[in-house]
Amino acid sequence: MEPTTRLRSPLKQGTERSDGFWEDSEGKTLKVSASEIERYVYCPMSWRMEIEGISAKGKEVELGIERHQRMHQMIVEKIEAQNAFTRNIVIWSWWFAVVLTLAADTAAFYFVQDGLIDSELASMIGKFLVLLALVWLILAIVLLILPWRRWLGWNEILSSSEEDPDIENDLQPLNTPLELGEKGWLTFGRPEALILFSAIALSLHGVALTFAQNRSLATFALLVLALIWTLLATTRLQAALTANKRVKEKDIEGGLEDLGEIKYSDGGDSILLEDKKTGLRGRPDQITRIGEDLIPVELKTGKIPKKPHKSHRFQILAYLHLIESMTKSPPPFGFLRYGTESVFSIEWNQKEKENLFSVIKEIQQISVEGGAKRDHNRPGKCESCSRRQDCPDRLEFIPTQ
Ligand code: SF4
């Protein structure tokens, strides 16, 4: 078949549904990717050539791929630094709590020994702590036996991984409940472990307060322990501050300061967002979180335009719809970045959704009926097109003298 005829021939078989989208003989909506939308809106011939395996050529294309990879690497490093910061802060706060406990114990022992606190009272507090430890122990045993997770519909692994997957990995033995019985009975997980540890800590304090004979030696030992623990906690704080400095450096290097908290970056093998109703699918370069909203980010390389290109805008609209359909929560806008300096915010509303849907339907229709052709009359656009060498529809650009 002639190359030009091939580029205009139908690609798929399908029929139009009552809602205007097109489906195949099995009733599945014809698939359209976000990057296809970008190419189609740029020029239907460019879209069709890509499908036929006629790739974009030129230095700009190679440079774009290289910049994308560099940016992805930078974002991955930033996310790693963020995770290191969170992990170290969490550990520091735990260790600092231990320091406070030891300091409180030291003070209690000192005042008992000094006579400021009546030793009878100290012994009473000790007994009370032992009693409390006993209650915690019973609670831990009850929670261990009963299938309360099933009753409450609580998934321990999911609830912890949402907070921070890295922390979850570090605490894997505690986050994955150990199931000894069936259907949730006899399950030992993080809550039981925490309550059990608290019971042990309380009982130790109680016993020490009640029975410690040489309180001045105990005071000294506790003081030394508190100092050692303070030193250990300081190393974690130092690590957290270093990680935070790395996050800031990556923010400046990649122009990421205003993008919110980046939750995901596409490295080529990442998750595919999909909407079965429209057939739309795609992988945004990044997804960031601002407040409660997940915001798609698309990075474009090359010359920075005064306003976003229409084709790039439609690509972001596609990701906005995908996030809305998957999360059931419409993001208010998406980010279109040109290099590291320029960021445009693309609004998401009903009108833009209709515009997007009409392009998806058009692509599905042209896939079934064929007939892709140049939709503009601008030689300058063809001149800067990365597929011009192979395009039968290209316009010749004659520079003005
Ligand atoms: S060369 Fe011109 S007609 Fe061909 S794909 Fe590029 S922009 Fe479209």
Q: Tens of pLDDT along 120-178?
A: 787 888 888 889 989 999 998 999 888 888 888 776 554 444 444 443 343 344 455 66
CA–centroid distance, 302 to ligand 1, in Å, is: 18
Atom of ligand 1 nearest to the CA of 45: 5
CA–centroid distance, 181 to ligand 1, in Å, is: 66
Cα–Cα separations (whole angstroms), residue 272 to 130, 260, 266, 315: 54, 22, 10, 15
Q: Coil, strand, or helix at residue 146?
A: coil
CA–centroid distance, 45 to ligand 1, in Å, is: 6
* Distance separating alpha carbons of residues 351 and 332, to the nearest angstrom: 13
Pairing label, strands 342-347, 286-290: unpaired
For residue 385 and ligand 1, the question of a CB distance below 6 A is answered with yes
3-state helix, strand, coil in the chain (%, to 5): 60, 10, 30
Residue 247, phi then psi, degrees to nearest 5: -60, -45
Pocket test for ligand 1, best of 42, 309, 382 (most atoms within 8 A of CB): 382
Ordered structural domains, the chain, with CATH: 3-75+259-390 (3.90.320), 78-253 (no CATH)
> What six digits make up the tokens of 304?
């920075």
CA–centroid distance, 373 to ligand 1, in Å, is: 9
CA–centroid distance, 23 to ligand 1, in Å, is: 28
Amino acid identity for residue 15 in this structure: T
* Distance separating alpha carbons of residues 372 and 294, to the nearest angstrom: 35
* Distance separating alpha carbons of residues 135 and 144, to the nearest angstrom: 14
Atom of ligand 1 nearest to the CA of 388: 1
pLDDT in tens, the chain (401 residues): 666 778 889 999 999 999 999 999 999 999 999 999 999 999 999 999 999 998 888 888 888 888 888 888 888 888 889 889 988 998 898 888 888 888 888 887 787 777 777 777 878 888 888 899 899 999 989 998 888 888 887 765 544 444 444 433 433 444 556 676 677 788 887 788 888 888 888 887 787 777 666 677 778 888 888 899 899 999 999 999 999 999 999 888 877 777 777 777 776 566 789 999 999 999 998 888 888 889 999 988 878 888 999 999 999 999 999 999 988 889 999 999 987 778 899 999 999 999 999 999 999 999 999 989 999 999 999 998 999 999 999 998 777 66
Q: Which residues pair with 286 in a beta bridge?
A: 265, 297
For residue 373 and ligand 1, the question of a CB distance below 6 A is answered with no
What's the whole-model pTM score? Answer: 0.67
Nearest to residue 226, comparing CAs of 342, 128, 98?
A: 98
CA–centroid distance, 347 to ligand 1, in Å, is: 28
**Are 80 and 243 in contact, with CB atoms under 8 Å apart?**
no
**Entry field: residues in the chain:** 401
